[in-house]
Amino acid sequence: MFQGVRRAAGLYDSAGTGSTGYGDPVEEIDRMIVSLLTRDGRMSFTELARQTGLSVSAAHQRVRRLERRGVITGYAALINPDDVDLPLTAFVSIKPFDPAAPDDAPQRLAHLQEIEACHSVAGEENYILKVRVASPVALENLLQEIRAAAGVSTRTTIVLSTPYENRPPGLSAGRPETPPEQAARR
């Protein structure tokens, strides 16, 4: 039933093999495992097995294989930035002063811990940086560091509120129609 949706979403190639051209295909059960772990990276293998209908050993083997293949690249704690005195989030778009200059801004900025993410983008700017800092003064200082280190101009958008972030990826085509715990009982 979901094959047409999966194909439309780019989760299947034209032959229906599950390959998207970006590496080896990921089986449906592995998509379910990835989806569950992105929602709760501390889920036990016992609970993962229960929700997927696998044995504990099979769930463990599949997770290790997904880690070896690089599908699962790590596990991290999500924090509340306000509680660690980083209440100000901003997106900083950058472009080089000299368009002929080497495109090495990510390497030149990698040492700046306030930069949480760096995305190469299409459009007028070359990169968009997600930054977190303690105050407007700290943001101003960071912008000066970014400009000096990478030889770029900046355009900054300050975040007023964040209704949601760190959402699990859209693996909905890999989810069964019924919740995993009900599907596992069938």
Distance CA 139, CA 86 (A): 11
Is 145 within 8 Å of 114 (Cβ atoms)? Answer: no
Same domain assignment for residues 85 and 154? yes
Instruction: Establish if 150 belongs to a structural domain.
Output: yes
Q: Which domain holds residue 113?
A: 81-158
CA distance 58 to 45: 9
What is the pLDDT, as a whole number, of residue 172? 54
Q: Are residues 42 and 67 in the same domain?
A: yes
Please state the domain count of the chain. Answer: 2
Q: Is residue 166 assigned to a domain?
A: no
pLDDT score of 169: 84
User: What are the two backbone dihedrals, phi and then psi, of residue 63, each rounded to the nearest 5 degrees?
Assistant: -65, -45
**Rounded Cα distance, 79 and 144, in Å:** 27
85 lies in the same domain as 153: yes
With respect to residue 163, please indicate whether it lies within any of the assigned structural domains.
Answer: no
* 180 within some domain: no
* CB proximity list for 81: less than 8 A, separation 6 or greater: 87, 89, 132
Q: Is residue 119 part of a domain?
A: yes
Q: Which residues of the chain have pLDDT under 50?
A: 1-21, 173-180, 182-186
**pTM (predicted TM-score):** 0.74
96, 31: one domain = no
Same domain, 24 and 55: yes
CATH of residue 144's domain is: 3.30.70.920
pLDDT, residue 13, reads 41
Domain's final residue, options 75, 106, 138: 75
Structural domain contains residue 175: no
| 106-143 residue pLDDT tens | 999 999 999 999 999 999 999 999 999 999 999 999 99
- Answer yes or no: do 101 and 66 share one domain: no
Looking at the structure, do residues 103 and 63 belong to the same domain, yes or no? no
In a domain, residue 45? The reply is yes
